[in-house]
Amino acid sequence: MTSLQKTKRVSWVSIILWVLRVAVITLVIYGSSVTLSSGKYAPSSWISLLIAGLAQGSIYALIALGYSLVYGIMLMINFAHGEVYMAGAFVSFFVADALEQSGFLQAQPLVTIFILLLSAMATSTLVALILERVAYRKLQNAPRMISLITAIGASFFLQYTFRGFFGSGFKAYPEFGTMWGRWTFGSVTIQIVQVVVAMAAILMMGGLYWFVEKTKTGKSMRAVSEDKEIASLMGIDVNRVIVITFMLGGMLAGAAGVFRGLYQPQGIGYNMGFLPGLKAFSAAVLGGIGNIPGAMLGGLFLGIFESIGPNLILQGLGIVGANQLKDAIAIVMLVLVLIFRPQGILGEKLAEEKA
Amino acid sequence: MNKLFECKNLSKDFGGLTAVNKFSFDIEEGEIVSLIGPNGAGKTTFFNLVTGLYPPSSGMIMFKGEDLIGLSPYEITQLGIARTFQAVRLFPDMTILENAMVGQHCRSKSGVLGAILRPRSYQKEEERIRNNAKEQLAFFGSRLMGFRLDQPAASLSYANRRRLEIARAMSTEAKLLLLDEPAAGMNPKETIEIAHLIGKLRDERGFTILVIEHDMRVVKDVSDRVVAMDYGGKIAEGTYEQVATDEHVIEAYLGRTGIEEQDNAN
Amino acid sequence: MTDSNAAQMIIERKHATRTMLIGIYSGLVALFICLIGMVETFGERDIIGGIISMGHTMLIIIAIGSGAIAVKTLREDMSTPGATINKTSFVVEIFVGVTAGLIVGATLSLFVFATELVDMRSVLINVSPGLLEMLTLQKPASQVMVTMTVLGSLLGGIGAAIFNIAPRIRLPLVLGLTSIVSLGMLRDMLKIVLTREGWPSVLLNFLVKNQGLSIAGGTTIFATTVALVIIWPHLPVIYDKTVRIIIAYVPKVLQFSVGIIFAITLTMRVFWFIAISDKDLPILPACQTADNSPDVGLDKCISIVSNDISTTTDLLGTNLATLVSTIITVSEMLIGTFILLCVIFAIWNIRQRVNTTNIKSTLEDPNNALLIIAKRNISAFFGVSLLVSLPILLGVFPSEVLLNVGLYMLMGFGLNIVVGMAGLLDLGYVAFFAVGAYSTALLTSPRASIELGMSFWAALPIVVLITGATGLLVGAPVLRMRGDYLAIVTLGFGEIARFLFLSDWFKPWLGGAQGIILIPPVSIGNIQLIGPHKLYYLIITGCLIALFISARLRESRVGRAWMAMSEDEQVAETMGINTVYYKLLAFGLGAMIASLSGAVFAAKLGTIFPHSFNVLVSITALSLLIVGGIGSLPGIIVGALVLVGLPELLREFTEYRLLIYGAVLIFMMLSRPEGLIPRVRQTRKLDDQELNQDAWLHDETEANNGPSVTVT
């Protein structure tokens, strides 16, 4: 009996998964084809949406990097990272407000942005470090569930602390006159601020990538993320690496806060970090959590998809008020990624026990 | 002839690494077979394939004439294969009795409504589960009985945890027991005892047993047949004496130099 | 001798640093609660009327606490092996306490000083004149700085001194002060309860003085607590003796009669309360529209009742009312008579010196079967009576609090099946609560899109089934996800549910942001359960059923499967447990219980909006589970009372509820992850016998690497 008899039994779980796959793909294709064939939007509007999505996506990417860095090192989901971002945005708002009132902002917009970035990054870094020291330091070897619940607690604690300090009303960033101009190429109009934000964010991510890949500290970070115990045996101060990781995450999140204020001045408030945090986490998972280029790609992809998706797919499916469901897209995507490719787009690196 | 268990050309790849490579092998009812081989030979992976934790890359596994491939681990257990783990994996916060009672899960039926309303049939079944679990625990003498029944499993000593794990596997009323290094971490006296117990498991309880073991005294004492594995494949099979003196086996344990030299000579 | 004395007088540098750190941290905490506005908000609530406010009390407690903690750490430090000085003296401890307190006082006075220099209010909105007034007691900042620092050190010193009082005195003292503070905080509720008919008005006037407790009231409460603390250890003995005498000397017939008549009275009273007396008229429009989340602002309701809407409506005709009231009067008289009879019989029997062996056994044997049964019956009887009579005793507004506690408690029981038993961290539990509420609304409201207008009871089974199906739907895609991903994904599902309820897409069916209105109240026969004091009976029934189901499931084949799965999923699967099935079962059952809570919620409010169903509901349910202890059923009850009940009683808390939940979650996870009332399990400590068995292992591994023997 040499012939290999391969009788594959198919469990109903995998049948359901296949049905789900087919359904998702069909819906996406059907929806977009209906929209595209209806010709409701000109190609130029798609390009505008794309650029807007890129700007939004680069903000997500900056936050997602914080999730991914911490996850890579500590294997925990720092649920409070959205609040780190909120802290930066919030404090830089007060700085911007003061600078506007003194007239400095109008005189020196570029210097102002630089000051804002510094203040936001400093604040976010501070919050991230306090978080690490007070809440997470003790939990380095605790079960994941315990650290996750702590992080959730920290998230709400921070939200309501800021609400207590600064009030529950929403604030609006001052407007930077030049930034709100538009460039027009033929029929395509692009907001300058979107391009600036996207460029600056991508520059920062490049800087981070260089830091992690080329510097000595970056090397020890990678070593710790490979194996904490062995790294510490090799003489790497694990606690120091963790602190640096939180610092980096905090800085990026702070910068994201400023970019958010520039790009979308309205709605700076104590709970502004919750949804972006959730979405950025989805982006990190989408790219492959623990993977730096993955988080960047995931963030950008999510931003673009959020901007185009509702108009392209949901409208085509005949759903009323498709843009209201924009916020749900990230979560649906997170679920789909976790079902079909839990290691993410670029997540080959992580072994089974990690992902 | 009707084999209880057989697998043919079983293979498992992890990425590029082949953990089990065209492994073919069978067990007859009432046999005690030992699986030996150096670390990383693929013995535990083979157990994981048989119990359905990993899907095999190719090959087939038959048990009591049924194809196991594609079945979930719980379905395989229901068919009558139960196992223990190399690194003891009990339910540490459950009591010793509860641990053993979990084994009876696949031999009982009552569901949510039964649990809430507790009709006579539910009570009878619960009683049966409890008695069966106690019977398995009593197999190990007083060690797991008495006041210990209501202690959490985490409070047991290392050797007793191994015993409890075997008891839990026994209470699934399996036909075939897969024991992954049952003597690891036991002192010499306990090791002799466990070898004795494995024999008793077959003689008194009628289990067919496949055991992975590093301790050669145990292997020698218990095995009807020994199968040696290396690099995911079978390198020798036969009685203990045959296998222990097999040159491939000795090479597998002592190093590759011999084979390389041979290859060079050829 | 002199040497050691000298050594005791000084403390090491590290102790000094630590003391200062404790002082600084406490100072920061004090500053923190000032800056987030807690001190000012609570400043409006007096503990002792006109003398001390709750805001001040908080600061005082922090100052005292800093002293106490400083001394505690000092002692712990010194008791660790290797400490150069291992004994402190009273003077040193007081010094340490004073230092810590001084730093707290100095921090606050520096803050006051700083507010003089810079205007912080444009950024930190709570640095208001009101707060400063509270801190400085309306005196110029330069004058009070010294006073505040001195006061701080004084309080720190008191904290240190408390550590030096014998526990025999310390316990009653601390508990007495605590009870003054807690009753002072609950002054509003005290007032509402005591103004109800049936409570002597003298009590109210004696205890409460306009803003807070009266001085006499405070003293009385303190004295009562102290007395209680002293009597407490003897209570079980007294109880035991009494029960023994009753079962030994009072004839069985009499015991039963008293019980039965008591039960009749209680039933009739409750019936009267629900069906006939409608004096409290609980339809309070302001309560329903003020805030649609489960924590309805009590203050709004209070203002309405003071308008005294009292119309007595007789829903069931005069005859029945007369009958019931007659039964109540007669049975209450009978109880009196029968209790008197019991006493007479008991005395007569004791006088007769009836001394059979039977009686001797009931009087002395600790394991007497009769005694155990009697005790169980008595506690069950009192438990049920208390539960049933709470709304009658307390009235509408405290019942509102209890109702909300009940809603969350029910959710807690449901969530416990998912999180506590099956080990699946679900952060989107609000979705099931919402589906329960929405489907109830859809099926019962005549204004809903499908215009079914069913009755609550007809709709309930359908609601439960729909929500159970939703549970399966949510559970299916997350089956293979690892724990922390599952948590985030379920959180996302909770948010998606809210987006969908809000969206224009579903607006034709679910009403969008306007929600669904005109949900009819629950009715039993002719009796309509309107108002929290009547719905209380519904929710308490729900909670009891959920408790019963949870307790039964836990000790069953299903519960064992869940527990095995939550401890090691892979092994559970290899032991023959179909984990897919049991995960879905947990999701489905959990969802069903949440739907009950949602249904009552919808019937209670009469109107539902998507905004009531945000992530905060899930977080509250999770917090109460964690505070009580994951998997512990009494823990859920305590958790709900503490985390939902307390903030409802103190309306100032509402603002800081989530802040406190967050802090509580962090604190519990860091210091006590098993919860306040952990699920009862034997200690995980290895006993000696088992330890000895492992001893050789360690020797062996030290000697040569590992016990395994290979081919020789």
Cβ contact A10–B70 (<8 Å): yes
Helix, strand, or coil here: C612?
A: helix
Domain locations along chain B: 1-80+174-266, 95-170
Joined tokens for residue A4: 């290999």
Residue numbers in A near B72 (CB within 8 A): 11
Q: Tell me the CA distances in angstroms from A249 to A68, A125, A273, one per residue in order.
A: 9, 8, 14
Element (H, E) at B61: strand B58-63
DSSP C353-373: T---HHHHHHHH-TT-HHHHH
CB contact under 8 A, B70 and A5: no
Using a CB-CB distance cutoff of 8 angstroms, which residues of chain C are in contact with residue B105?
557, 560-561, 564, 575-577
The pTM for the full model equals: 0.87
Tell me the range of B259-263, C44-48, C70-74, C682-686 where mean pLDDT is highest: C70-74
> Is residue A145 less than 8 Å (CB to CB) from chain B?
no
**Cβ of A5 and B72 within 8 Å?**
no
pLDDT band for C270, please (50, 70, 90 cuts).
confident
| CB contact residues (below 8 A), chain B span 89-118, against chain C | 89-95, 98, 101-103, 105-108, 110-112, 114-116, 118
Q: Which residues of B touch C708 (CB under 8 A)?
A: 184, 214-215
C417-472 residue pLDDT tens: 999 999 899 999 999 999 999 999 999 988 777 778 888 999 999 999 999 999 99
Look at the block and give the residue holding tokens 């400083």.
C70
Which tokens in the block code for residue C539? 């929710």
Q: In a 3-state reduction of DSSP, which class is residue C155?
A: helix
Strand order in the sheet with B5-14: B17-27, B5-14, B58-63, B66-67
Residues in C touching A16 (Cβ below 8 Å): 476
Provide the pairing of β-strand B17-27 with B5-14: antiparallel
Q: Which chains touch A (3 or more CB pairs under 8 A)?
A: B, C
For chain A, say whether C124 makes contact (Cβ under 8 Å). yes
CB atoms within 10 A of CB C371: 19
Q: Shortest Cα distance from A10 to chain B (angstroms)? A: 7
Interface of A with C in 208-247 (CB under 8 A): none
B9 — contact with chain C (CB < 8 Å)?
no
Query: C568 or C211: whose pLDDT is higher?
Result: C568
- Cα–Cα distance for residue pair B156/C693, rounded to 1 Å: 9
Q: Which residues of C touch B249 (CB under 8 A)?
A: 711
Considering only CB atoms, A4 lies closest to which of B9, B67, B70, namely B9
C77 has a pLDDT exceeding 80: no
- Examine the pLDDT at C551 and tell me if it is beyond 90: yes
pLDDT tens by residue, C552-582? 999 899 999 999 998 889 999 999 999 989 9
Q: Is the pLDDT of residue B134 over 80?
A: yes
ipTM of this complex: 0.92
Tens of pLDDT, residue by residue over C119-143, are 888 888 888 888 888 888 777 777 7
Sequence-separated (6 or more) residues with CB below 8 Å from residue B156: B96, B144, B148, B164, C686, C690
Contacts of B among chains (3+ CB pairs under 8 A) = A, C
C-beta separation of C498 from C614 below 8 A: yes
**Chain B residues within 8 A of C690 when measuring between CB atoms:** 155-157, 160
The CATH number linked to A91 is 1.10.3470
Backbone angles phi, psi at A345, to 5 degrees: -65, -50
Q: Report which secondary-structure segment, H or E, holds B176.
A: strand B176-180
* Chain B residues touching residue A11 (CB < 8 angstroms): 70, 72
Backbone angles phi, psi at C82, to 5 degrees: 95, 0
CA A141 distance to own-chain centroid: 26
pLDDT value of residue C116? 83
- The reported pLDDT for the residue numbered C706 is 38
pLDDT in tens, chain A (355 residues): 333 344 445 567 678 778 888 988 888 888 888 888 887 777 788 888 888 898 899 999 999 999 999 988 888 889 999 999 999 999 999 999 888 888 888 888 888 888 999 999 999 999 999 999 988 888 888 888 888 889 999 999 999 999 988 888 888 888 776 666 777 777 777 888 888 888 888 888 889 989 988 888 888 888 888 888 888 888 888 888 899 999 999 999 999 999 998 888 888 889 899 999 999 999 998 888 888 888 899 999 999 988 888 888 887 777 777 777 888 888 888 888 887 877 777 765 444 444 3
CA dist C304 and C285 (Å) reads: 9
Cβ atoms of B143 and B160 within 8 Å: the answer is yes
Report the distance separating Cα C244 and Cα C238, nearest Å. 10
The chain-wide mean pLDDT, for chain C, equals 81
Contacts of B8 in chain A (CB under 8 A): 1, 4
Q: Do the Cβ atoms of C428 and C474 come closer than 8 Å?
A: yes
Residue of B59, B67, B71 with shortest CB distance to A4: B59
pLDDT band at C681 (very low <50, low <70, confident <90, very high): low
**pLDDT grade, residue C621 (50/70/90)?**
very high
- Please enumerate residues of B whose Cβ is less than 8 A from a Cβ of A: 8-9, 58-60, 67, 69-72
Q: Would A227 be classed as within a structural domain?
A: yes
The answer to whether residue A36 sits within a structural domain is no
Q: Do A4 and B69 touch (CB under 8 A)?
A: no
pLDDT at C293 > cutoff 70:
no
Tell if the CB–CB gap between B108 and C552 is shorter than 8 Å: no
Of C567, C580, C681, which is closest to B91 when you measure between CB atoms? C567
Whether A7 sits inside 8 A of B70 (CB atoms) is yes
Q: Report chain A residues whose CB lies below 8 A from the CB of C661.
A: 153, 156
Helix (H) or strand (E) holding A199: helix A192-214
How far is the alpha carbon of C572 from chain A, nearest alpha carbon, in Å? Answer: 18
DSSP tally for chain C: helices H, then strands E: 32, 6
Q: Name, in order, each residue with C-beta under 8 angstroms of C165's C-beta and a sequence gap of 6 or more.
A: C173
Superfamily of domain B1-80+174-266: P-loop containing nucleotide triphosphate hydrolases (3.40.50.300)
What is the residue range of A201's domain? 44-168+178-349
For residues B70 and B56, the answer to whether their CB atoms sit within 8 Å is no
User: Over the Cα atoms of chain B, what is R_g?
Assistant: 20
For residue A3, tell me if it sits in a domain.
Answer: no
Distance from CA of C409 to the nearest CA of A (A): 20
Mean pLDDT of C319-340: 85
**pLDDT tens, position by position, C296-316:** 444 444 333 333 333 344 445
Under the banding of pLDDT at 50, 70 and 90, the label for residue C696 is: low
Give residue C697's pLDDT.
Answer: 57
pLDDT at B258 over 70: no
Spatial separation of the C-alpha atoms in residues C620 and B39, rounded to whole Å: 50
pLDDT at C243 over 60: yes
Whether C35 and chain A come into contact, CB under 8 Å, resolves to yes
